[in-house]
C-alpha cells in the first residue's frame, strides 16, 4: 500500500508541474505572447548622434572612436 501512495503522490506532482509549465495554472491561458521592437535608423543618423555625444562631452575621444568603428562594422555587415 505504501508503494501505491508513493506512486500516486509522484503522479500528482508530475501532473502539477506539467500544468504549471504549460501555463494552465496561475491565470495563464497557455499561450505565449512575444513582442519585438524594431528601431530603424540610418548609419548617418547614428554617426550624427555619436558626434553630438562626443561634442557635448558625454563620451571621450577613445569611446567615440571605438563606437564609430563598431557602427561602421555593423553597417558593413548588413
**pTM summary value:** 0.49
- Could you read off the pLDDT of 30-42 as tens digits, one per residue? 678 888 877 788 9
Question: Could you state, in order of their start, the residue ranges of all structural domains in the chain?
Answer: 41-78
The predicted structure's pLDDT at residue 2: 73
The predicted structure's pLDDT at residue 26: 55
- Could you read off the pLDDT of 6-50 as tens digits, one per residue? 766 667 678 777 766 655 555 556 678 888 877 788 999 999 999
Query: SS in 3 state form for the chain?
Result: CHHHHHHHHHHHHHHHHHHHHCCCCCCCCCCCCCCCCCCCCCHHHHHHHHHHHHHHCCCCHHHHHHHHHHHHHHHHHC
Amino acid at each position: 500500500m505504501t508503494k501505491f501512495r508513493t506512486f500516486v503522490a509522484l503522479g500528482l506532482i508530475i501532473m502539477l508541474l506539467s500544468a504549471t509549465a504549460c501555463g494552465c495554472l496561475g491565470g495563464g491561458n497557455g499561450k505565449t505572447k512575444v513582442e519585438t521592437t524594431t528601431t530603424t535608423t540610418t548609419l548617418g543618423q547614428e554617426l550624427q548622434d555619436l558626434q553630438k555625444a562626443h561634442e557635448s562631452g558625454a563620451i571621450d575621444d577613445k569611446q567615440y572612436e571605438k563606437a564609430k568603428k563598431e557602427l561602421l562594422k555593423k553597417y558593413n555587415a548588413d
